[in-house]
Every structure is written in structure tokens, then in C-alpha cells.
Structure 1
């Protein structure tokens, strides 16, 4: 089951998250727990709200320190209890860099506390001239679990949601599970068909045996040796 706790400031998020973790620590059952925050970039601070209410336009210079302190406390608690935290954050373009570069907002605290940071960007997914969804580029900026600077694409359809089979055809060819023969794809049993046919009926072609081979290949491709 899911519980939604509305928060407006970083301090409120810290308080609510710690309250949830304290209750979880004292819970005898300890069912799996996942905490999500959407989004850190939209959270204000107590000082920013007070300044706004007072009509002040001064910039809040304490936010990055508050974020850093928040995740310093939460990281230890989350690690101790084995609770994953997933959050979204905004990025901005770094001014003055020689090459185009993105940086996360909120200071360095989150960057050092996170086990994984994935940068997302997107392009339109079209069927002819009609936009039917987005292709989302996912690049590992930081990872303690997989190789960094790897990128994969996922498809998000406006009508069907995430496409669980998107990209598997190219992966199967790379893993030598399927073979590209001229304009068709050769399957493990030697039969040939078109890639479009596979994409139109993925459950028929991505059998348990094929998925096990792909799972092994993906671990070798993306995980540390």
C-alpha cells in the first residue's frame, strides 16, 4: 500500500522521512519499504517562505547546506534499515564550460550521498507525423552498482505507458541471441522473421530462455567485473 505525505520545504521532508524511518525501525514485521520524493528541486526552505511572506527578495544562501545536512542524516538511517530512496531533481546548464554540461541543482550534498545518479533527457517518438510518446535517454552519471557513463533508451507511450520490450531486439543481436541476416532476424531455432514482426508481438519471441540469456549478457555489459 502507498502513503502520500505532502511536504513544501526541505526541512519538512527531512522530518517526515525520519518519522517514517523511526516507525519502520520499531515495526516488528519490517515489510519492504520504498521512499520517493518528487521533486527535490521544487522544495523550498523555511527561510525562503518566511522571506517571501515578509516581502523580502533576498536569495536563500542556506539551501545547499540544508540539503547536504538532510541527506547526511538520511543516508545513514536508510542504509542501516535497508530502505531505498528514489527522488527526482532538476538540472541546469553549466555556464562557462568548454563543452555542454549539465549539473544537478541543490549543491554537492546529494551528489556525494547518492549511490546512483541517472540523467534523463528525451526526444519525441513519432508514428508518421503524430507524436505518440517519448524516447527517454537514461545515462548513468554516477553509480556504485553499475558502470558509469552508460546510456540506454526507454520508450514511454502516451497510451500504453512504459514499453518493457523496447530496445531488446538490438540487445539480443548484440548478445548474439538473435542474428541479423540481411533484412531479417534469425531466431535461436534457425527461423527468420522481420524485426517489425518481433516488435509487434514481443511476448511470442522473448521466451524465458531468451530472457535468461539477455539477463546474463546485461550483467556482463553493465555491471562491474
Structure 2
């Protein structure tokens, strides 16, 4: 069995909106609904878990009342790794054994159902990530400039993902980027997520550091590439305008 976790606890501050970020309208429709439609169409998890904050649970649950979902609350915004850990109590109630966990983001409206289906069939020993590769950061590709970079070793294997704020000038030149979509082995994820550290500029528990943990164990981290438009997220008014233009 594969379960899906959707991170949706973010505020709409950078969007200049009083709404939670995932409810900011894209073509007049809350952006998370585009992702929810892809999740439903993929038929991977009939009841995905949405991670919300105490402040936004009511308004998000009201907006998504026609979808079959569970909610887990992230009491404090301590990072993406902490957010996923908040789902463990809900998952523990599952009567059937869980094989995989797919982590998605509610502010990424372009992800297709076919990609979710493909991701669900991987059964990784540790985790598989879904990077995107850009030719450059010009035009609408500038949306991706502040994303985490995929760091590969001399053998071409993924060693870690470094977040933009922690990246060196040289690392910022890398054009293989991390949209954040990940597929984990369930047991491996929750065995290791508790070991995440917050020794970074944001003082947050990054889910991306799970890649570094897998590499330190000598495990291979799989990759399944997707096109930049499908990978695109929305974090600012400028990015929202670009997303609107791509939908036209």
C-alpha cells in the first residue's frame, strides 16, 4: 500500500494574501485543488493526508470538503521533515501494512496524475526523488532559481540536496533542481526521520536531508525526472503570474 502526504501548512505571507498559501487562487481556483484532482485521478491513495497548521485547518478542510482526506496538524512550522513526522500518528492507525510514502506539496498545481502513478510503483529501499533539469534560469525558469540543488558525486550518484540558502556560489550554478516530490520506503522513513538535525541557516528540519542519510548508509537514491512546468511551485505573486500565463 502507498499513502500520500501533502504538505499544506504554509502561510500566504509571501503571496500578499490573508489566505493559506495553498488556497491562493490560480485562475480563480485554489491552487491545491489542481493537485488534489491529480491525486484523485492517480487512484494511488483513496484518502491522502494533508498536513495543516492549527490556524489554517478549518479553512482548508472547508475548501476541500468534497475530497476524501485525512488531516494531521503541524503545531509549529519547524520544517518539511517535521511536517512529515506529524503524519505518523495518523498513519499508525492504518490496518493494512504500508509500503511506500509519497510526499507532495499543495503549492505545486501542475503535477500530473501519471507522474504520481509512476512514483507509486517504485518501491524504493530508501527513497526516490523527482528532480527537474533546466537549460538555464532565464524567462519563466527564473521561478526555480531559489530551489534546492541536486548534488551528485563523481560517479553520478545523488549524494545530497542542498537548499538554496545553504548553497555556495558554485552550487547555485547547478541546474538540476529539487521540486520536493519524494517517494520513501515507509519503515526506512520513520526509522530515520527522527534523526534529522536543524543545523542550517533556517534552523529547520529539512526533509531533503533524508537523501544525505541514505547516502551515508551507502544506499542508492533513485531519480525520476519530470519536465520543469510540471515541477513548478508557486511561492510569490510573480510566480503566480507566470503560472497563470502557462495555464492560458
Bucket of the pairwise TM-score, normalised by the shorter protein:
under 0.3
Structure with larger Rg: 1
Using the size of structure 2 for normalisation, the TM-score is 0.22
Using the size of structure 1 for normalisation, the TM-score is 0.23
